[in-house]
A and B are shown apart, each in its own frame.
Chain A
Amino acid sequence: MSDTLTLNHRPKDENAWERNVPVYGFPVVNGFFLLLTSFVLIALVLTAYRELAGLGPVSGMNDAFGWGIWKTFNVMVMTALGSGAFAVGIAAWVFRRKRLHTLMRMSLLTSFLAYACGLLLLGVDAGRPWNFYWIVFPWKWNMHSPLAEVAICMSIYAMIPLAIENIPPVLERLWYFDSRLRPGVERIEKRLHSVFPYVIAAAYLLPGMHQSSLGALMLLAGERVHPLWQTPWLPFLYLGAACFMSFGCVAGTTMLCCLVWKRGMDMEVLDEAARITSWLIFGWLGLRFADIIFRGALLTAFRVDRFADVFWLEILLVAAGGYLLHRSLKTHDKQHMFLGYILSSLGGMIYRFSPTTLAFRPNPQALYFPATIEVLVSLGFICLGVLGFLLAVKRFAILPAPLHEWHSMANYFRFRRPYIRWTGYFKFGYFGEDESESVSSD
């Protein structure tokens, strides 16, 4: 659903991202891929053990801390990082920041993977998952429960709007793969585009609802969440954190990919993303402090205890990230920009992790520390997402790139297992500028 050809004028910068191009010339299966696969396999075996043995033997969860990292990290934190389809999408489609369309495929992919892996682990974390079938009977839902809202809304979002939004790269690959598929693909695309406004609108409404409801979850816990975090504004702050974290995730991942696979970086797009992120961060910090001050909880931040430490760590990371991003707009320093994304996202992760775990005090004696198996499973499901990402960017046109990358790729695939098959490539009026003379169809 994203696009790269948004600029009307010829770009002056030769690095301007104009097209999504698959990563070519690198094998999908390499050492790193195998390492990730082994983590995933370990996690799957341990998951089977968990289903038989119960949650107690495999995790550090106890009566006081009923929720462990599977929920509080893999769902609460990772889906915040994976809200790119929501935050970047709203900026691009609702507020019409057109340059950001180049980042849309990255956002949609990272979101889908983060949500899918989070939901899978949510199923593992549920003690009685076979009762999930109630989800298809809306009259059995408890509509006023934040958790019902989260569970239902998240599954619907990931399975319907987000999945549909991720279809275009797949169709595009089929289109290029074989000319016989083209009429069919074009028919599907046409139908897809006619439902897009409804799908995209749902894809912004639903995450807006469940990302805020994730914050509302801890409202019911009342005083047991430290006053620096417990506030009626928790849903709104959760949503805000998801916004700047997901910008960080999308733009940061794209920058990292550009470094790894040696692609040009379009500083116009990245500057735009950094500008929006820095303002999101400053707005969020302002709201966070205003809320704490008006509730009169500021003094608790100056006590010497672990809660104050966590609070200041979070605030410093987010603020430093925001400052670096803001500065990188003037200096055009890519390193500062990247570091800014990393720091602000880390701070946001700590924020999203705190109310349920770090700042949750069910009673003075209660302790929670994840067990080894718990950590391995959590890690395995994150690795599953990374695996999916590596596979997708190498097989589909996800990563944005300058136009010349597209032509190089077309040349590269001429004699190899193709993204583009040359059969019929030039029969449909789509000529690559570079090769139009040198290549005949085979």
Chain B
Amino acid sequence: MAITRRELITNIAKAGVPAAIAVTAGAEMLQAETLSVPSAAVGLLYDATKCIGCKACVAACAEANGTAPDTRGDALHQAPSDLNDLTRNVIKLYKPADGSQFSFVKRQCMHCLDPACAAGCPFQALSKDPVTGIVSWTADKCIGCRYCTITCPYHIPRFQWVGFNPRVTKCELCSDRLAKGLKPGCTTVCPTGAVIFGPRPVLILDAKKRIAENPGRYVENKIYGEHDNGGTQALYLSRVPFEKLGLPELGEESVPERTLRWQRRFYQYFALPAVLYAGLVQVIRKSLKGHENELHEREKQTGLRAQI
């Protein structure tokens, strides 16, 4: 006896009505939960047009964070080719072969307002500070799954591949220095003021002023990070298109919000799974009863013990 149509419809109805309510209620909750800018959001403003590529910030970063200089390139100079397990901050060069406009770019964590790494992190090892908005990593909670290296749209967190006690390395905006009233390491040494530290709203005003004072200097007159990926706390100004500097066009909606919308709704307060579970129990109870009856009948026929 297959499931009857009436039974199927009744069961769907039984499960469906509360489910619909749950999802709607959950969706409203989600809208209330949308992230706002942390009250004291601090950030960096990096103006690529001012950067001379001296890499003083790379050395200062390593010093401020107490990491060994990464001399793995030539065993002599601290010249990391990219972010890695010893490097939280790196200067890279974009130089097209046709000799057109080149640009340096400083790469470090963007401290997104809605960070994808924290959205994916299973046990909240990567978390965003509710006050300063700094995204930082907690060793005690990290299971080393490396999902952050997959999810970050800027490809910032790096995993330590060697050793039995690996760590995840990313810029944490020198939060321990901030607590002492000091600025992040990279901003203290920049000779041209290409990277500055400050509260995010102040940095945005400063950047807008620079754009207004230098028409035509900045690409699209745009501050990357003002709205991109839901807004970031590291802001960029550049002469060349941002994609060339490794800052992809992501739209104004943050990556987690855009991609996990349905995932988040389905699991809101576990309402939908709970309703589904209740429906399943009902159906299976009935199946089990019928099945057991058949088994016992057959047991009598064959004289062999039923195998359930």
Contact = CB atoms under 8 A, between A and B. Distances in A.
Nearest to B294: A6
Contacts of B161: 54-57, 61-62
B146 A3 contact: no
B303 to A, nearest CB: 4
Contacts of B294: 5-6, 8, 98
Interface stretch (B105-113, B136-144, B208-216, B230-238): B136-144
Given A6-B294, A126-B145, A403-B302, A146 B263 contact: yes
Contacts of B160: 54, 127
Interface of A: 1-8, 18-20, 51-57, 61-64, 66-67, 93-98, 101, 105, 125-129, 131-132, 134-135, 140-149, 151-152, 168, 172, 175, 189, 193, 196-198, 200-202, 204-205, 208-209, 213, 216-223, 232, 235, 362-363, 397, 403, 406, 429-433, 436
A220 B139 CA distance: 23
Contacts of A430: 303-305
Interface string B260-295: 101110010010010011001101110110111011
Nearest to B83: A63
Contacts of A63: 82-84, 149, 155, 158-159
Contact of B280 (A52, A143, A205, A406): A205
Given A146-B260, A148-B123, A220-B116, A5 B143 contact: no
B303 A431 contact: yes
Interface stretch (B162-170, B184-192, B219-227): B162-170
Nearest to B280: A201
10 contacts: A5-B295, A20-B307, A105-B307, A125-B145, A131-B123, A131-B140, A134-B141, A135-B123, A222-B153, A433-B302
A200 B284 contact: yes
A7 B1 CA distance: 11
B3 A127 contact: no
Interface of B: 1-3, 82-84, 116, 118-125, 139-147, 149-151, 153, 155, 158-166, 248, 250, 255-256, 259-260, 262-264, 267, 270, 273, 276-277, 280-281, 283-285, 287-288, 290-292, 294-295, 297-299, 302-308
Contacts of A61: 146, 161
B164 A53 contact: yes
Contacts of A363: 155
A220 B256 contact: yes
A362 B299 CA distance: 60
Given A93-B288, A147-B121, 20 more contacts: A8-B298, A63-B82, A63-B84, A63-B158, A98-B294, A134-B141, A144-B263, A144-B264, A145-B119, A145-B122, A145-B147, A151-B122, A152-B122, A201-B281, A205-B277, A217-B120, A220-B256, A222-B153, A406-B304, A433-B302
Contact of A432 (B82, B276, B291, B303): B303
A359 to B, nearest CB: 13
A212 B127 CA distance: 25
A220 B291 contact: no
A76 to B, nearest CB: 13
Contacts of A62: 161
Contact of A55 (B147, B166, B305): B166
